[in-house]
Structure 1
């Protein structure tokens, strides 16, 4: 099972690209760079998803202890607006969120620590997301919060046709109905710095 240092807020990483006439190269993950950003995580699995339709919302998801997961998310085709919501019981920023636009063209990555629900919306058709997780998938620990919970108040950038959701995501509880298994670690959610 993976582990995560819980004393960190979400962080945006911008790996450096090295370009020439052929295109570019970048390290999509470096343990040294992650540690320099305060991310002390052992990733144990890589996942990838494809969303065909603009306005596809996936989230707000998490995995409960003892199989909680931190995530390092990047967009490998297209673009998304990515969200991390503080769901740590006792946190002064409980229910608050940060957001970052992740694009294949820019290579940005969002680190989502344990204790945060994660979700995103596709900003165009045919989007692919790749992400690392610090714990293996455990279906019995799978959980989430409804994407449009008014207590959280995310203003999703949706097309006129509205959100495209899975049946499972339509049935997630609200924050008020949620009994969080995540403990506050003493560090409130901080705004993401501009890149």
Structure 2
């Protein structure tokens, strides 16, 4: 990284250029509490200037597009190797592919403790159901897989079990 007379946004926040979005947010919150004009012991003009620098640094580093252009401006690159275009006779006319960017998306965050707990309970439920199915299969054995066809009783047995209706209501039915 080239040396500059003015501090970089990373040095203002006390971070390395490879810092994650979470580290940038954490450093910004700590420094904004320390240098806020209403809470600091510094003079108002110094506190306002420092607070504005910290806000500008955070605004640039928290946006993936702005951070990428700032990194290129200061000479820092997350990518160690630059690939040559497949055809050297034609210039590359496509814009930057953000899908290959190493920056975190706003929705890309670590799981909270509640989300981890829910996933743990879901895993336990799945394992419990699986073990229950295996236990039922083992205890019932082959009987669980056999099906028995119900056959009607023989005709002679049906005739002997027959009783004629005795009341008028049974005759109607």
Q: TM-score range by the shorter chain?
A: under 0.3
Looking at CA atoms only, which structure, 1 or 2, has the larger radius of gyration? 2
* Higher RCO, 1 vs 2 (CA within 8 Å, ≥6 residues apart): 1
TM-score by length of 2: 0.19
| Higher normalized helix content (fraction of residues) | 2
TM-score by length of 1: 0.18
| Higher normalized strand content (fraction of residues) | 1
